[in-house]
Amino acid sequence: MGRKLLLDKAHVENIRLYDVYRQHGGYRSVEKAIKTMSPDQVTEEVKKSGLRGRGGAGFPTGMKWSFLAKPEGVPRYLVVNADESEPGTFKDRYLMEFIPHLLIEGMITSSYALGSNRSYIYIRGEYAWIVDILEQAIAEAKNNGWLGKNILGSGFDCEIYVQRGAGAYICGEETALLESLEGKRGNPRIKPPFPAVKGLWDCPTVVNNVETIAAVVPIVNEGGDEYAKIGIGKSTGTKLISACGNIKKPGVYEIDMTISVEEFIYGDEYCGGIASGKRLKACIPGGSSVPILPANLLLKTAKGETRMMTYESLADGGFATGSMMGSGGFIVLDETQCVVRNTYTLARFYRHESCGQCSPCREGTGWMEKILLNIENGKGKMSDIDLLWDIQRKIEGNTICPLGDAAAWPVAAAIRHFRDEFEWHVQNPDECVRRNYGLMHYADPLKTATPA
Amino acid sequence: MQNVKFSEEKLKEVGRIISFYPEGKQKSALLPVLHLAQQEFGGWLDVPVMDYVASLLNIAPIEVYEVATFYSMYNLKPVGKYMFEVCQTGPCMLNGSDDIIRYIGDKLGIKPGQTTSDGMFTLKTVECLGACGYAPMMQMGKHYREHLTREKVDAIIEECRRNAASHN
Ligand SMILES: Cc1cc2nc3c(=O)[nH]c(=O)nc-3n(C[C@H](O)[C@H](O)[C@H](O)COP(=O)(O)O)c2cc1C
Ligand code: SF4
Ligand code: FES
């Protein structure tokens, strides 16, 4: 059994309620930080922990915090990113729904470290019922003296507010999020200036993912060094993985970053293997934006080493033969699935979510969607495959925000690893609408699934 | 759409939302107040509603239109009493969302984007709602309906019809 730091108490009965949460050791990190540590000492522990942002980019959190500008007399803000809209990702929802006080506790401790007296949770609009859960937790925390003025007699004031978005993946990008929090369209800003200098209402701002802020609780309680002992290399601590697609047990798992991808997929403690006794074809291990990998490259790196569920190992081989940890949205495709169709739905997603500011992203995503749909429907030409490759290359790196890259990568990886499946569609226009290509040579070389 | 005005209770709620933000930053309340307006004024945002919200927040109407047209949860046209927003993105597709969308459409005799002629149901396809592990799924009002099957869809439609009948 791996260690659990975030979800270990998530299934205690009534843990949503303050009293139960408190009985199980809740709010200790706030007490410890405010009574025994300076704000900089809290940041120091976060640095020592090696915690990397859990929203997708994996940027070291302690370093981000230390970049926060602190001009005299200007407010600073902590904004928690609960926009969670990357296909395959549903971990933050789980955390907020089951153990909301963990996020609130992490926010108070983090707000103390950053000097934020007003902190916000920006939550995707569709999670409407979770807003109620969070507001309830905030009210309870406030009634018990953890929020408001002069917390624990320290002179530190803090309030937490929740704002709902209204349906726009792009508002997960941190500067678009800030625009949205200011009541505007979610158009990403040109960086620099970075939010650490000019963020919410032009004030210095830290934007962190829900899981990142929740992880501050065990880091402060146990110390950064202790936290850093879990995991391998620069992948310290535990990570929430939301697993979905064609597996026996979809759901949210907290892993310590020491297990292999194979164990995660086939282990009974985790996904429990491929559903209906089918075989593994491919996987998108870190949310829809990261490269899809065929089974053979998923379980072993190109060098033949066991691929682990760590930032480094998932990325081993770069984009040629590797992928990314991303947001931890783990999407599994079994042997009956069609990579072209899957890629098409993702291209449609990015076209729908492009904010439209940059022409390569606005035009390119729509173009890719159309071509992919044609190929999927048996109306594609061989030259379309090269055209797709060309379009994605022209988007990547040529846009204001990383959504362009996020749209390009899945298409690039699908062609890179599954070109024969695209070609088969073009060469078999009638057959490809009736049946799927199947497994061909992508089969997991290690396992032949036992029929269920 | 004659009487566009929030009740006292809702105006209090608007005040509570505005208080989340520093002095002079009441424009930040726009997204939550639009949600409230949509819920109160018939499930969609007609121009007079948007103008009313602009006046409440002391901003120009164009600032409201800009936002209302950007975000997918704001309806700019009337919708049915019950809106089925079915996710169609990759992970849901891998678990049969295409079939669920077709089934609902056939059963209600409408295509995605359309509303039944009795104004009861709207079918809308949406992109990933963060429920990929519980696919196929849809949003209905404030809540999610997950692990959808044809039988479950039948039951949900029944439930809506019953609820509508008992409210009339
Ligand atoms: C298009 C796009 C969507 C994003 N969506 C999210 C999201 O839903 N949640 C999130 O935490 N980060 C998201 N990010 C990453 C944020 O921009 C930002 O890096 C992150 O919130 C920082 O927090 P972290 O360092 O704790 O990960 C997104 C980025 C892009 C480019
Ligand atoms: S890359 Fe796409 S989403 Fe990002 S700013 Fe440009 S158009 Fe908008
Ligand atoms: S893909 Fe449907 S909820 Fe995520």
* Span A345-368, pLDDT tens digits: 999 999 999 999 999 999 999 999
Q: Verify whether ligand 3 is closer than 6 Å to residue B129 (CB atom).
A: yes
List of chain A residues whose C-beta atoms are within 8 Å of the C-beta of residue B74: 166-167
Would you say A57 and A289 are in contact if contact means Cβ atoms under 8 Å apart? no
Give the pLDDT score at A143.
Answer: 98
Evaluate the omega torsion of the peptide bond into residue B136 and state whether it is cis, within 30 degrees of 0.
Answer: yes
Q: Which of A90, A201, A331 sits opposite B25 (nearest CB)?
A: A201
Q: Which of A181, A184, A252 sits opposite B67 (nearest CB)?
A: A184
Give the pLDDT score at A446.
Answer: 46
Say what the ipTM of the complex is.
0.97
Q: Verify whether ligand 1 is closer than 6 Å to residue A208 (CB atom).
A: yes
Q: Which of A92, A166, A169 sits opposite B74 (nearest CB)?
A: A166
Q: What's the whole-number mean pLDDT along residues B14-25? A: 97
Give the pLDDT score at B167.
Answer: 76
Provide the pLDDT confidence category of residue B10 given band limits of 50, 70 and 90.
Answer: very high
Domains of chain A, each with CATH number or no CATH: 18-229 (3.40.50.11540), 235-309+325-332 (3.10.20.600), 339-434 (1.20.1440.230)
Could you give the angle at the alpha carbon of A311 between the alpha carbons of A305 and A313, nearest 5°?
Answer: 5
* Interface touch A166/B127, C-beta < 8 Å: no
Would you say A418 and A295 are in contact if contact means Cβ atoms under 8 Å apart? no
Give the pLDDT score at A277.
Answer: 85
**Does residue B122 register a pLDDT over 60?**
yes
Distance CA A340, CA A109 (A): 46
Evaluate the omega torsion of the peptide bond into residue B91 and state whether it is cis, within 30 degrees of 0.
Answer: no
* Interface touch B66/A346, C-beta < 8 Å: no
pLDDT tens digits, B126-168 = 999 999 999 999 999 999 999 999 999 999 999 999 999 987 6
Give the pLDDT score at B1.
Answer: 52
Give the amino acid at A318. G
Residue whose CA is closest, atom 5 of ligand 1?
Answer: A172
A208 forms beta bridges with A80
* Chain region(s) in chain B for CATH 1.10.10: 8-70
Phi, psi of A166 (to 5 degrees): -145, 30
Query: Min CA distance, A341 vs chain B (Å)?
Result: 8
**Does residue A451 register a pLDDT over 60?**
no
Give the pLDDT score at A445.
Answer: 47
Give the pLDDT score at A442.
Answer: 55
A residues 136..165 contacting B (CB < 8 A): 161, 163-165
**A39 CB near a chain B CB, below 8 Å?**
no
> Please, what's the largest Cα pairwise distance for chain A?
74
**Which ligand ends up closest to the CA of A401?**
2
Would you say A4 and A211 are in contact if contact means Cβ atoms under 8 Å apart? no
Q: Verify whether ligand 3 is closer than 6 Å to residue B135 (CB atom).
A: yes
Query: Min CA distance, B97 vs chain A (Å)?
Result: 11
**A354 CB near a chain B CB, below 8 Å?**
no
Neighbours of A332 (CB within 10 A): 28
Give the pLDDT score at A450.
Answer: 38
Distance CA A331, CA A287 (A): 7
Phi, psi of B124 (to 5 degrees): -135, 135
* Interface touch A129/B71, C-beta < 8 Å: no
B143 forms beta bridges with B140
Give the pLDDT score at B2.
Answer: 57
- Count of A-B CB contacts under 8 Å: 149
Q: Any idea which fold B82-166 has? A: Glutaredoxin (3.40.30)
* Chain region(s) in chain B for CATH 3.40.30.10: 82-166
pLDDT tens digits, A50-67 = 999 999 999 999 999 999
**Does residue A40 register a pLDDT over 60?**
yes
**Which ligand ends up closest to the CA of A126?**
3
A residues 383..422 contacting B (CB < 8 A): none
Cα separation values, A34 from A37, A76, A118, A152, B119, Å: 6, 18, 17, 8, 56
Give the pLDDT score at A448.
Answer: 46
Neighbours of A337 (CB within 10 A): 22
Q: Any idea which fold B8-70 has? A: Arc Repressor Mutant, subunit A (1.10.10)
A184, A335, A352, best to mutate vs chain B, most B CBs in 10 Å: A184
pLDDT tens digits, A415-440 = 999 999 999 999 999 999 999 998 86
Residue whose CA is closest, atom 29 of ligand 1?
Answer: A173
Distance CA A184, CA A128 (A): 20
B50, B58, B128, B143, best to mutate vs chain A, most A CBs in 10 Å: B128
Would you say A333 and A298 are in contact if contact means Cβ atoms under 8 Å apart? no
pLDDT tens digits, A365-409 = 999 999 999 999 999 999 999 999 999 999 999 999 999 999 999
**Does residue A452 register a pLDDT over 80?**
no
List of chain A residues whose C-beta atoms are within 8 Å of the C-beta of residue B126: 167
Provide the pLDDT confidence category of residue A159 given band limits of 50, 70 and 90.
Answer: very high
